[in-house]
Amino acid sequence: MAMRWTARLLLAVLTPCFAAACGDDDVDADADGGEPIPNEWGFDIRYPDDDRLPCTEPGEITTEWPDADWICSFSYDGVDAVVYVQATPVRCEDFMGPVLETRVGQVWVDGVVSPLGDTAYDWGGNHHNDSLEFAFGGRRYLAYHSSIGFGWRACHPMDCLQVSDATGTMLEDGCTCDRTVPAVCVQVRSDGTWDELVDTFAVCPGDSTCGA
């Protein structure tokens, strides 16, 4: 798993941005307004904008990058939690996807909603192997993918957690083929709906590492 994570970071660092016409000024701030969507946890869930950030690449190809708002559930060390994060694209990374800024992060535990610390959502480059990072309870969590299929592409939403202490020292890599710290993540759609938090994970076709 360390090799997978290192490769993803190298892609993000080494790939330049050559988008010709994109930036913070294109962000539609009005999409964040309005009342939160009612939900069973009491999160401040918004209606995501599905055409928020237009980016023009060489060749005059325009792509609209949407918000990426996620709800994830997991259990670790005796705690059952649900987290919600809003991620808004703020600039383009050409064909590698947008750079997103997290503006709201919340966690629900035992009926109480609290702010999340140090939230960050990474689109995951051209292959869209995305990840979600957050902190609470003195630990850092990274939601990622335990299976990568054909063409080094994930076939399923984020499904597992890597857990570290406050210094960044890994406590448990739950994103190996054994998937020892499973998570269920669903994306909030622009119409304000989302799938049930039900674990439907399966190993990706073409993932020889995990036996597919």
Q: What is the pLDDT of residues 111-145, one digit of tens each?
A: 999 999 899 999 998 899 999 999 999 999 999 99
Mean of the per-residue pLDDT values of the chain: 84
130: nearest Cα among 108, 99, 104, 107:
99
User: Do residues 154 and 175 lie in contact, with contact meaning Cβ atoms separated by under 8 Å?
Assistant: no
Burial of residue 1, with CB atoms counted within 10 A of its CB: 0-12 exposed, 13-18 middle, 19 or more buried:
middle
Question: pLDDT value at position 155?
Answer: 96
Q: Which two tokens stand for residue 67?
A: 């918000």
What is the identity of the amino acid at 73? S
Question: pLDDT value at position 8?
Answer: 33
pLDDT band at 58 (very low <50, low <70, confident <90, very high): low
Spatial distance between the Cα atoms of 177 and 159, rounded to a whole number of angstroms:
11
What is the identity of the amino acid at 138? G
> Which residues touch 95 (CB under 8 Å, ≥6 apart)?
57, 126
pLDDT band at 105 (very low <50, low <70, confident <90, very high): very high
Q: How far, in Å, are 45, 145, 156, 195 from residue 207 at the CA level?
A: 34, 12, 12, 25
Question: pLDDT value at position 17?
Answer: 28
Question: pLDDT value at position 166?
Answer: 93
User: Do residues 149 and 206 lie in contact, with contact meaning Cβ atoms separated by under 8 Å?
Assistant: yes
CB 118: neighbour CB atoms within 10 A? 12
CB 75: neighbour CB atoms within 10 A? 12
Q: Which residues are registered as beta bridge partners of 114?
A: 107
On whether the pTM is more than 0.85, the answer is no
